[in-house]
């Protein structure tokens, strides 16, 4: 995977010890009003211009595309970020709800690799499907053995991430309270975070959803029911709380049922703080977060949210937010004058 240095538009090398580098996003601010780029009329729909309760999104920073898990339309849609309000293209599913190789069943998350292979968390089919670029059907790359607790099974896949340096698929298994690293040659996973039992101890998770994995295979987890983000280093037996963890609430040091997490190359953590209807940014080592955009408002206007489920950043640092109940994607532009380098 390539990570982009937003300030100079060049490839940057990740330093996984984020606290020891200049943080160009420490004081950055974003516009308070968003621009709807997909689903501009907030209406549920299944044509090329509409969405039906979108959950996950993935921003392809190299090609300026956004991919959306269009959940209740059982498809993945691709939109060009430079063509606001333009038509989307179905790149996975779209053939009705089902379990066939050309179908999806309530997809919740999507990841696209550098070869434009589309990985889909096909949640209600308890599998992960991979659709090659231009393919008319997908292949099962994880799960597909029914819903369950076995290591060859997935309870409810609600977050996926492909670590491209090692070509490894990681799965956030919501119902089984675990993060699994899939081993293709064995046809099963190995637990790399959580115990498989719900809890709030440092070695446990409770309803994990979105995940982000850096170059060092450190996993950042939106730990939903614990209202925190956990950082889990490769090989560790327990996690470290890096955001929230101070009870469910709306204070600057709290989260309320976070659904997704994203990281930039400076180590800033961006969080879809869903039940607070806001997006938060936590700098490395911070004890509290900063609210981005307008946020903290439930509604239909630009800058207001109804169910913030997924977030992403483009190569310029602009923020993209999926809203399930508004059936849209909003873009919030980073303010250039607030960049520190």
pLDDT tens track for 97-108: 999 999 999 999
Res 11: pLDDT:
33
Report residue 78's pLDDT band, with 50, 70 and 90 as the boundaries.
Answer: very high
Whether 157 and 108 have beta carbons less than 8 Å apart is answered as yes
Q: What architecture is the 56-193 domain classified under in CATH? A: 6 Propeller (2.120)
Sheet holding 228-232, edge to edge: 208-213, 219-223, 228-232, 240-244
Res 341: pLDDT:
59
Tokens describing residue 239: 């996690």
Report percent pLDDT > 70 for the chain. 92
Q: What's the mean pLDDT in 273-278?
A: 93
Among 32-41, 227-236, 296-305, the range scoring the smallest mean pLDDT is 296-305
Q: What's the mean pLDDT in 266-293?
A: 93
Res 19: pLDDT:
61
For residue 313, pLDDT over 70 is answered with: yes
**Residue 268 has what DSSP assignment?**
-
Res 20: pLDDT:
56
Q: What's the mean pLDDT in 152-176?
A: 95
Residue closest to 178 by CA, chosen among 191, 166, 167:
191
Res 306: pLDDT:
84
For residue 2, pLDDT over 50 is answered with: no
Q: What's the mean pLDDT in 253-275?
A: 95
Domain with CATH 2.120.10.30 in the chain: 56-193, 204-336
Report residue 12's pLDDT band, with 50, 70 and 90 as the boundaries.
Answer: very low
**Per-residue burial over 57-94, b = 16 or more CB atoms within 10 Å of its CB, e = otherwise:** bbbbbeeebbbbbbbbbbbbbbbbbeeeeeebeebbbb
Res 295: pLDDT:
58
Report percent pLDDT > 90 for the chain. 78
Instruction: Give the mean pLDDT of the chain.
Output: 91
Sheet holding 319-323, edge to edge: 35-38, 328-332, 319-323, 308-313
The CB-based long-range contact list for 242-248 (8 Å cut-off, 24+ gap) reads 242/269, 242/282, 243/269, 243/271, 243/280, 243/282, 243/289, 244/271, 248/275
Local structure of 71: helix, strand or coil: helix
Q: Residue holding tokens 């999806």?
A: 104
Res 4: pLDDT:
32
What is the Cα–Cα distance from 337 to 178, expressed in whole angstroms? 41
Res 5: pLDDT:
37
pLDDT digits (tens, 9 = 90+) for 32-65: 889 999 998 999 999 999 999 999 999 999 999 9
Q: pTM of the full predicted structure? A: 0.92
The CATH number, out of the four listed (3.40.50.1370, 3.90.550.10, 3.40.50.300, 2.120.10.30), of the domain defined by the range 204-336: 2.120.10.30
What is the Cα–Cα distance from 273 to 306, expressed in whole angstroms? 11
Local structure of 18: helix, strand or coil: helix
Local structure of 248: helix, strand or coil: strand
Phi, psi of 325 (to 5 degrees): -80, -20
Res 301: pLDDT:
75
Local structure of 148: helix, strand or coil: coil
Tokens describing residue 222: 């939106």
């Amino acid at each position: 995977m390539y990570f982009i240095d937003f300030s100079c538009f060049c490839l940057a090398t990740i330093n996984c010890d984020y606290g020891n580098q200049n943080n160009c996003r420490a004081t950055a601010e974003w516009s308070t009003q968003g621009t709807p780029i997909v689903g501009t009329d907030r209406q549920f729909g299944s044509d090329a211009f509409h969405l039906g309760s979108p959950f996950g999104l993935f921003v392809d920073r190299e090609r300026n595309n956004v991919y959306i898990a269009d959940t209740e339309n059982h498809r993945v849609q691709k939109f060009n970020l430079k063509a606001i309000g333009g038509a989307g293209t179905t790149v996975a599913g779209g053939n009705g709800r089902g379990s066939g190789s050309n179908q999806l069943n309530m997809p919740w998350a999507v990841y696209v690799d550098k070869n434009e292979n589309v990985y889909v968390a096909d949640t209600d089919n308890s599998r992960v499907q991979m659709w090659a670029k231009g393919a008319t059907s997908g292949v099962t790359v994880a799960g597909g053995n029914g819903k369950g607790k076995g290591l060859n099974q997935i309870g409810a896949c609600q977050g996926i991430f492909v670590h491209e340096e090692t070509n490894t698929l990681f799965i956030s298994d919501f119902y089984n309270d675990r993060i699994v690293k899939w081993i293709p040659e064995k046809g099963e996973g190995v637990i790399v975070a959580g115990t498989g039992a719900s809890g709030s101890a440092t070695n446990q998770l409770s309803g994990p959803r979105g995940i982000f994995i850096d170059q060092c295979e450190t996993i950042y987890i939106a730990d939903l029911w614990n209202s925190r983000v956990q950082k889990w280093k490769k090989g560790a037996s327990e996690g470290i709380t890096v955001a929230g963890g101070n009870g469910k609430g709306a204070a600057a040091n709290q989260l309320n049922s976070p659904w997704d997490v994203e990281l930039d190359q400076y180590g800033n953590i961006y969080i879809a703080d869903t039940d607070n209807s806001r997006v938060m940014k936590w700098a490395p080592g911070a004890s509290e977060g900063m609210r981005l955009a307008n946020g903290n408002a439930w509604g239909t206007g630009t800058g207001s949210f109804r169910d913030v489920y997924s977030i992403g950043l483009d190569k310029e640092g602009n923020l993209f937010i999926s809203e399930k109940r508004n059936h849209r994607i909003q873009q919030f532009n980073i303010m250039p004058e607030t960049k520190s380098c």
